[in-house]
Structure 1
Amino acid sequence: MIDEDLRIRLADLGGFDTARGSLAGVVVVDVTRVVAGPYCSMVLADLGATVIKVEHPDEPDYTRTFPPLLAEEDDPDGPVGEDRLSGFFAQYNRNKLGVTANLRHPSGAALLEQLVARADVLVENFRPGTMDRLGLGYEHLRTINPRLVYAALSGYGQTGPYRGRPAYDNSAQATGGLWSMNGPAGGPPTRVGTIIGDLAASLYGTIGVLAALRHADATGYGQLVDISQQDSVLTLTENAVVAYTTEGTVPVPLGNAHPFVRPYEAFPCRDGFVFFGGYTDKFWRISCELFGGPGEYEAHPELHAMGDRFDEEVYEHAVRPLVERWFADRTKAELEALAGDLVPLSAVKDIGEVVADPQIAARDMVVETAYPGFGALRTFGSPVKLDATPPRTNGRAPSTGAHTAAVLRELLDYDEAAIDELRAAGTI
């Protein structure tokens, strides 16, 4: 950990909020790219850690060119590059300090070792074996800093027959079982419409880092945090594993339906769709009275028991038609106003409706960050709500190597001559 004065000086370098977060003083060296990894270190940064993003000076994180792109206000038609700001990159790299180092160069590797000596955590998401080939693997770095928590996020993990395979999010969705379960009923498997493998691995990586930090505080020793995207996706398949291991059932795409809970899916209404989950006996009775009026519940005694409503034939021939009749002539807003406080019923909202949602606003889940020269960028906030040490969510993402010289001076006590020498050698 770094002391309070140094923490504040480093935060000032990035123009970040200097208020103490839960992880204040923790230093994270981030050598990740794209999302699986950058999201993990971003969560740590939101929680107050000092995160130093290390990029190759000539080959920085290529999501810097990913859309959407904000153009400079005085050059809206300029080319993609440092005069364009990637909203994609900014969203996953806020609150970080930017440093460049060529890890293939001996002096660049030495620079990373010096950073690790002052750090608590290193996060990387290279294919297993890459850091070892650079001479910067866990077994080596732990000799420099025994307290180091080394988080390695990869497609298939550091062990097993697939460990060396290249992988993307879709690789994890495919091999973790999620792809085979998703899609319209009776249709082909369909990927989940977001990079859920990357995101899940990042979040599990964050959990692993926090657990390992607690262990390091107690024992003085760090450890390897080994996170696989395939493993992470597998844990998102709900009851699929236990259904197969106990009954031999292989899940297939069900569209918006649940494997056995009914009603529990999206239903059409006058201007779109709503999710309705009134499957318990309590919620079913309330729903009958709300939507069907007096006598609706007693008119269908064959539907009073939850087990009967779960029966697929009963559901398709009696329950679904009844619910569809209830909703057909009402709008999403009307249905939410009528029933949203009483039963699980929610409008199916597009992202524009979500960004404008009053609950999202009340929870500070869309935050605005000022980028001088580019204007304001609105991104998602933090779902972690802490009343004593709230996450900081409006810090900027760094331009490539923006803080290299300052971090070397402040954290590693480099003088200007040494920094100039590294720059001349192409190390930074």
Structure 2
Amino acid sequence: MIDDATRALLAGLGGVDAAPGSLAGVVVVDVTRVVAGPYCSMILADLGATVIKVENPGDPDYTRTFPPMLPREDAEPLSGFFAQYNRNKLGVTLNLKSPGAAEVLDRLVEHADVLVENFRPGTMDRLGHGYERLRRVNPKLVYAALSGYGQSGPYRLRPAYDNSAQATGGLWSMNGEAGGPPTRVGTIIGDLAASLYGVIGVLAALRHAEQTGEGQLVDISQQDSVLTLTENAVVSYTVDGVVPKPLGNQHPFVRPYELFPCADGFVFFGGYTDKFWRISCETFGSPADWDDNPDLHGMATRFDAEVYQERVKPMVVRWFADRTKAELEALAGDLVPLSAVKDIGEVVEDPQIAARGMIVDNDYPGHGSLRTFGSPVKLDRTPAQTAGLAPDMGEHTDRVLGEFLGYSADEVAALRTGGTI
């Protein structure tokens, strides 16, 4: 943990004037790129950690070129994709392949609590910056390694993307229309899940390091992470031998609990409990829907696939067919679980999202305003800070090396001339 003077210096470098978060004083060296890794360190930064993003000056994080782009007449355009996952970070350039990189990285690690990397296993070792060497530089270092298949096992050296994790973690095989081919989940769920588990692992390891002075390796696999998102699939197979297949918008056994059409789109309706089913009959249909179907009062009967398809589902379809999403949400209110299926434009303008501060508007000088998602972690004493900007490449290199690591101006210039930074 750094002292107050150094913390103030680093906060000033980041240009963020905000109340310290729960992780204030924690320094994170971030040598990741794309999403699985940058998102992990961004969450730590939102929670108050000082995150130093390290990029190769000749091969920076290539999401800097990912759309959408905010143009600027006198400078390179800004990637909204990159900015969304790299806010609140300091930008430093360092070529980890350079002979002089070890000394610079070692100084960073000496001052750091956490290092996050997302290279294929063995890459950091080949570069001379692996965990076993860096733990000797700083025994308290929490070294988080996020990869496709983890640091052990027969697949450990395989290249991987998010789709690799969806494919090998079981999720892809379960998703899609019933009777049709598997369909990938429509977002990079493997990258995102690995980042979230990375945060959990880092926080647990930091707690241990604070108590014992001992750092450790946090080994996160995208495949592992996706597997834990498959709900009841594992126990369905290990207990009953059932291999889940795509079911479209239906749940494996809970009914009604799926997508239904309405006058102007679709809604999710989950009124499957006995209480919710009774209220739904009276709210969307009529008391007769409840009174005239006493055999449907029990949840087990409604769960029966044949009964559901022949009697329950047609009733729900009738309720919703001539009503709009807004009308149905108004009727449901706080009574039963019904939600309009909203596109991202509707979500960004949603009053609940606004009330929760989940869309943040940051001004990038010369580029204009960029609206991104906020933080879902709500802490009433040390709230997450989302006002920080993503750094230009190497924006803070001179000051971090000079004021934080103690390099002289001549030494910094020599490192730059030699291609190290």
TM range (shorter): over 0.9
Counterpart pick for 1:258 among 241, 247, 251:
251
* Residue equivalent to 1:149: 142
Task: Report the equivalent of 1:206.
Answer: 199
Match of 2:66 in 1: 66
Verify the 8 A CA contact 2:18 2:385 in the aligned structure 1: no
Deviates more, 1:301-310 or 1:3-12: 3-12
Misfit runs of 4+, over 6 Å:
none
Structure 1 counterpart of 2:416, from 420, 423, 427: 423
**Equivalent residue number for residue 354 of structure 2:** 361
Letter in 1 for 2:59: E
Q: How do 1:10-409 residues align onto structure 2 when only pairs under 5 Å count?
A: 10-72=10-72, 74=73, 83-409=76-402
Deviations 1:199-250 (A, max 9, x none): 0000000000000000000000000000000000000000000000000000
**The residue matched to 2:247 in structure 1 has which SS?**
coil
Contact 2:28 2:52 in 1 (8 A): yes
User: What one-letter code is carried by the residue in structure 2 that aligns with 1:149?
Assistant: V
1:60-97 C-alpha deviation (Å, 9 max, x unpaired): 0000000000001x46xxxxxx5100000000000000
Moved more, 54-63 or 101-110: 101-110
Stretch moving more, 290-299 or 188-197: 290-299
Does the residue aligned with 1:275 lie in a helix, a strand or coil? strand
- AA aligned opposite 2:350: D
Deviation sequence 1:30-64 (CA, Å, 0-9, x none): 00000000000000000000000000001000000
AA at the equivalent of 1:192: V
Amino acid at match of 2:23: L
Residue 17 of structure 1 deviates from its aligned partner by 2.9
TM-score normalised to structure 2 length = 0.99
Query: Using the alignment, how far apart are the partners of 1:294 and 1:201 within structure 2?
Result: 48
RMSD between aligned residues: 0.8
Structure 1-normalised TM-score? 0.97
Paired with 2:351 and 2:42, the residues of 1 have a C-alpha distance of 26
- 2:18 and 2:254 mapped to 1: Cα distance? 48
Q: Match of 1:39, as an amino acid?
A: Y
- Deviation at residue 344 of structure 1 after TM alignment: 0.3
Q: Distance in 1 between matches of 2:31 and 2:287?
A: 63
- Offset from partner CA, 1:163-209 (integer Å, 9 cap, x none): 00000000000000000000011110000000000000000000000
CA contact (8 A) 1:28 1:50 kept: yes
Contact 1:36 1:198 in 2 (8 A): yes
Q: Which amino acid aligns with 2:318?
A: R
Alignment gaps of 5+ in structure 2: none
Query: Secondary structure of 2:384's match?
Result: coil
Partner secondary structure for residue 163 of structure 2: helix
| Cα distance in 2 between the residues matched to 1:426 and 1:36 | 27
> Which residue does the alignment assign to 1:2?
2
Tell me how far apart the structure 1 counterparts of residues 351 and 122 of structure 2 sit (CA, whole Å).
47
The answer to whether the Cα contact below 8 Å between 1:126 and 1:154 also exists between their aligned partners in 2 is: yes
Greater Cα offset, 39-48 or 7-16? 7-16
Q: How many Å separate the matches in 2 of 1:26 and 1:382?
A: 19
Q: Percent identity?
A: 76
Whole-angstrom distance in 2 between the partners of 1:312 and 1:273: 22
- Report if the CA contact (8 A) 2:117-2:146 is conserved: yes
Aligned pair count reads 421
**Other structure's SS at 1:296 match:** helix
